[in-house]
Amino acid sequence: MQFVIIARDGTDPEARTRRRAVRPEHLEGIRRFVERGNILIGGAILDEVGNMVGSVLVADFPTREELDAWLTRDPYVTDGVWKEVEVQPYRAAVGAWIRTD
């Protein structure tokens, strides 16, 4: 089942520092989910001057529970980078990466 995840960083003065500090661990941990096909696409939400202030991901997990199990262990969650996380069921309809055969 596909999901779209919209995660917003904290807005406190240390939010950007926290994200920069945890980012390498987040990217390393998410790599195996990308390789297994669970994370289809992901990237940062930027503010008007280009600072990372959140993330958007499209994920494919068999169940919401399996997505939540990954999400609750991700360093952006455990280390307080993402302060608001919205998860919605999703179905991709078009995209260069979608196979139609």
pLDDT of res. 98: 65
Type of residue found at 3: F
| Average pLDDT rounded to a whole number, residues 51-60 | 97
pLDDT of res. 4: 98
Predicted confidence (pLDDT) per residue in 14-26, tens digit: 999 999 999 999 9
Q: How far apart are CA 25 and CA 22, in angstroms?
A: 6
pLDDT of res. 21: 97
Spell out a b/e string for 64-98, using b for 16 or more CB atoms within 10 Å of the CB, else e. Answer: eeebeebbeebbbbeebbbeebebeeeeeeeeeee
pLDDT of residue 81 exceeding 90: yes
pLDDT of res. 36: 96
pLDDT of res. 101: 57
pLDDT of residue 100 exceeding 70: no
